[in-house]
Amino acid sequence: MSRKAIQWSGVFPAVTTQFKADFSLDLQATHQVMRKLVDDGVSGLVVCGTVGENTSLSTAEKLAVIEVAKDAAAGRVPVIAGVAEFTTEFARNTVREAAKAGADGVMVMPALVYSAKPHETAAHFRAVATGTDLPVMVYNNPPIYRNDVTPEVLIALQDCENIVCFKDSSGDTRRFIDLRNAVGERFVLFAGLDDVVVESVAVGAEGWVSGMSVAFPKEGETLFRLAKAQRFEEALALYRWFMPLLHLDARPDLVQCIKLCEELVGRGSSITRPPRLPLQGETLAEVKAIVAKALATRPSLPDVGL
């Protein structure tokens, strides 16, 4: 497995997991959310990630979500399964089960809770990757997961053939340049933070794992394609409209914000599993106002081949 063997590019929404009022898993609604995204022209699906409330799901529920995603994708786009576990061995086991459930690849996070040293972080990813034949996307989100996958960590993993992709949510786009300077095009680069996507594409990102694209998929895919085609004047016009929404992806309550946006545009439910609680008061009013303004000023989209 190498980067040449995968077709990962474009916008891969970080799909939400839908729940019923009693917080039980709603697989039918989850399937509907995914199917709509594929019909709207997204390039892939990422399930059981941060926005998918991975750590709120049992292993059996995670596997059920992967199976539903494969059915919704119907072979049209790849399905990448998030892997976020407390230990390396738990992660290895989850990856094996995800492969059996049909995942086309895995997005692996550092071992959760433990604040690892760089060599421990590298060892975790290496051990997980060598336990599977699936292509691996390394996911870096230091503000949320308290472990920083620096370019140096990736450089140490360049010999691990099926680690093919790096998703960075640090917000520091210089890292993509540093990584390319060090190892060339060894890794497919994915933007992971919504409100720096155009900058990320400008410095080499080939894909975008997007939170807000679950609510505004056509706008997300259009923005990415404009940036990729270096149609920056058109991209920046759309980016300015999109930015208040994209900022919601960079907040600690991003899951509640994104799921509320989904509900407000009629694409899903805002229900999250505790300890995530519904937005209230000024915060709720703020997000509703952002969405209302976006809908009132929603632009006509340039033709990008969607």
Q: Would you state the structure tokens that stand for residue 276, as one six-digit string? A: 């995530």
The amino acid present at 305, given as its one-letter code, is G
Helix, strand, coil percent values for the chain (each to nearest 5): 50, 10, 40
Q: What is the torsional sign of CA 94, 66, 153, 113?
A: negative
Helix (H) or strand (E) holding 280: none
| Euclidean distance between CA atoms 29 and 32, whole angstroms | 5
Active site residue 100: no
Name the binding residues for pyruvate.
Answer: 209
Q: What is the torsional sign of CA 269, 275, 280, 283?
A: negative
Name the binding residues.
Answer: 209
Active site residue: 139, 145, 228, 259, which one? 139
Q: Is-contact 210 197, C-beta < 8 A?
A: yes
Q: What is the torsional sign of CA 215, 220, 222, 225?
A: negative
Active site residue 145: no
Active site residue: 62, 167, 228, 259, which one? 167
Q: Is-contact 51 255, C-beta < 8 A?
A: yes
| Cis bond before residue 217 (omega within 30° of 0) | no
**Residue 10 φ/ψ region, left for φ over 0, alpha for ψ in the -120 to 50 degree band, beta for the rest:** left
Q: Give the E-state strand segments of the chain in sequence order.
A: 10-13, 45-47, 79-83, 105-108, 136-140, 163-168, 188-191, 207-210
Tell me which residues are annotated as active site.
139, 167
